[in-house]
Chain A
Amino acid sequence: MMFMRPVRRDDLAAITQLAAKTGVGVTSLPLNEERLLARIDRAIATWEEKLPLAEQGYLFVLEDSEQQRVVGISAIEAAVGLNDPWYNYRVGTLVHASKELNVYSQMPTLFLSNDHTGYSELCTLFLDPDYRHSKNGQLLSRCRFLFMAAFRERFAAKVIAEMRGFSDEQGRSPFWEGLGRHFFAIDFSDADYLTGVGQKSFIAELMPKHPLYVDFLTEETRAVIGKVHPHTAPARAILENEGLKYEGYVDIFDGGPTLEAYVAEIRAIRDSRVLPIRLGEPEGSGPVYLLSNDRFQGFRSLLASASLHEKHIVVTAQVAQALQLAAGDTLRAVPLFAREQ
Chain B
Amino acid sequence: MILMRPATLTDLPQIEQLARASGPMVCTLPVSREHLQQKISHSLASLRADVLQPAEESYFFVLEESQSGQLLGTSALIAQAGYHEPFYAYRNDVRVHSSRTLGVHNRLHMLTLAHDLTDHTQLCSFYIAPTLRPGLWPRLLSLGRLLFIAQHPQRFSPDLVALIPGVVDGAGRSPFWEQVGRKFFNIDYNQVEYYHGTRNKTFLAELMPHHPLYVSLLADEAQAVLGQVHPDAGLQFDLLVDDGFEADDYIEIFDAGPVVTARRDLLQSWQHSKLAQLGALGESNPASARPCLLLNTRLEAFRATVATITPPEAGRLTLSAELAEALLIGVGDEVRWLPLPAQ
Please list the residues of chain A having a beta carbon within 8 angstroms of any beta carbon in chain B: 96-98, 100-101, 103, 105, 107, 109, 178-179, 182-186, 194, 199, 201-202, 205-208, 210-213, 215-217
Question: Which chain A residues border B199 with CB–CB below 8 Å?
Answer: 100
Residue in contact with A205 in the complex, picked from B99, B203, B207, B211, CB distance below 8 Å: B99
Q: Given contacts A100-B200, A100-B203, list 10 more A-B pairs with CB under 8 A.
A: A96-B184, A96-B206, A182-B217, A202-B104, A205-B98, A210-B211, A212-B217, A213-B209, A216-B183, A216-B217
Rounded to whole angstroms, the CA-CA distance of A43 and B184 in the bound complex is 50
Question: Which chain B residues border A213 with CB–CB below 8 Å?
Answer: 183, 209, 211, 213
Rounded to whole angstroms, the CA-CA distance of A194 and B102 in the bound complex is 10
Question: Which chain A residues border B179 with CB–CB below 8 Å?
Answer: 216
| B83 CB within 8 Å of chain A | no
Rounded to whole angstroms, the CA-CA distance of A199 and B110 in the bound complex is 27
Given A105-B183, A211-B211, are A185 and B101 also a contact pair (CB < 8 Å)?
no
Residue in contact with A97 in the complex, picked from B99, B180, B207, B217, CB distance below 8 Å: B207
| B181 → A minimal CB distance (Å) | 11
Tell me if B97 and A96 are in contact (CB < 8 A). no
Question: Which chain B residues border A205 with CB–CB below 8 Å?
Answer: 97-101
| B212 CB within 8 Å of chain A | yes
Tell me if A216 and B218 are in contact (CB < 8 A). yes
Tell me if B101 and A199 are in contact (CB < 8 A). yes
Tell me if A103 and B207 are in contact (CB < 8 A). yes
Taking CB as reference atom, which chain B residue is nearest A97? B206
A-B pair number, CB within 8 angstroms: 95
Tell me if A103 and B217 are in contact (CB < 8 A). no
| B67 CB within 8 Å of chain A | no
Question: Which chain A residues border B209 with CB–CB below 8 Å?
Answer: 96, 107, 213
Question: Which chain A residues border B219 with CB–CB below 8 Å?
Answer: 216
Tell me if A217 and B217 are in contact (CB < 8 A). yes
Question: Which chain A residues border B218 with CB–CB below 8 Å?
Answer: 216
Tell me if A186 and B104 are in contact (CB < 8 A). yes
Rounded to whole angstroms, the CA-CA distance of A178 and B184 in the bound complex is 21
Taking CB as reference atom, which chain B residue is nearest A202? B99
Tell me if A186 and B183 are in contact (CB < 8 A). no
Given A96-B184, A184-B104, A210-B211, are A179 and B97 also a contact pair (CB < 8 Å)?
no
| B108 CB within 8 Å of chain A | yes
Question: Which chain B residues border A217 with CB–CB below 8 Å?
Answer: 217
Residue in contact with B97 in the complex, picked from A101, A199, A201, A206, CB distance below 8 Å: A206
| B106 CB within 8 Å of chain A | yes
Query: Among residues 187 to 211 in chain B, which have CB atoms less than 8 Å away from a CB atom of chain A?
Result: 187, 195, 199-200, 202-203, 206-209, 211
Tell me if B185 and A185 are in contact (CB < 8 A). no
| B174 → A minimal CB distance (Å) | 16
Chain A CB within 10 Å, residue with most, of B200, B207, B208: B207
Q: Mark B49-92, 1 if CB is under 8 A from A, else 0.
A: 00000000000000000000000000000000000000000000
| B177 → A minimal CB distance (Å) | 14
| A222 → B minimal CB distance (Å) | 12
| B42 → A minimal CB distance (Å) | 22
| B72 → A minimal CB distance (Å) | 35
Taking CB as reference atom, which chain A residue is nearest B104? A185
Rounded to whole angstroms, the CA-CA distance of A185 and B216 in the bound complex is 12
Question: Which chain A residues border B186 with CB–CB below 8 Å?
Answer: 103, 105
| A218 → B minimal CB distance (Å) | 8
Tell me if B101 and A202 are in contact (CB < 8 A). yes
Rounded to whole angstroms, the CA-CA distance of A206 and B99 in the bound complex is 7
Rounded to whole angstroms, the CA-CA distance of A106 and B25 in the bound complex is 29
Question: Which chain B residues border A178 with CB–CB below 8 Å?
Answer: 217
Question: Which chain B residues border A186 with CB–CB below 8 Å?
Answer: 102, 104
Rounded to whole angstroms, the CA-CA distance of A178 and B217 in the bound complex is 8
| A38 → B minimal CB distance (Å) | 18
Rounded to whole angstroms, the CA-CA distance of A217 and B108 in the bound complex is 16
Rounded to whole angstroms, the CA-CA distance of A96 and B98 in the bound complex is 33
Rounded to whole angstroms, the CA-CA distance of A202 and B97 in the bound complex is 10
Question: Which chain A residues border B183 with CB–CB below 8 Å?
Answer: 105, 107, 213, 215-216
| A189 → B minimal CB distance (Å) | 14
Residue in contact with A182 in the complex, picked from B101, B208, B214, CB distance below 8 Å: B214
Rounded to whole angstroms, the CA-CA distance of A186 and B99 in the bound complex is 12
Taking CB as reference atom, which chain A residue is nearest B217? A216
| A201 → B minimal CB distance (Å) | 6
Query: Among residues 136 to 192 in chain B, which have CB atoms less than 8 Å away from a CB atom of chain A?
Result: 179-180, 183-187
Question: Which chain A residues border B97 with CB–CB below 8 Å?
Answer: 183, 205-207
Residue in contact with A103 in the complex, picked from B101, B102, B104, B187, CB distance below 8 Å: B187
Question: Which chain A residues border B213 with CB–CB below 8 Å?
Answer: 213, 216
Tell me if B211 and A101 are in contact (CB < 8 A). no
Tell me if B104 and A98 are in contact (CB < 8 A). no
Rounded to whole angstroms, the CA-CA distance of A164 and B195 in the bound complex is 47
Taking CB as reference atom, which chain B residue is nearest A205? B99
Rounded to whole angstroms, the CA-CA distance of A149 and B8 in the bound complex is 84
Chain B CB within 10 Å, residue with most, of A185, A202, A208, A216: A216
Residue in contact with B101 in the complex, picked from A96, A97, A194, A208, CB distance below 8 Å: A194
Tell me if A103 and B185 are in contact (CB < 8 A). yes
Rounded to whole angstroms, the CA-CA distance of A105 and B13 in the bound complex is 39
The list of the 5 closest CB pairs from A to B, nearest first, reads A202-B99, A205-B99, A182-B216, A98-B203, A98-B206
Tell me if A208 and B206 are in contact (CB < 8 A). no
Query: Among residues 98 to 124 in chain B, which have CB atoms less than 8 Å away from a CB atom of chain A?
Result: 98-102, 104, 106, 108, 110
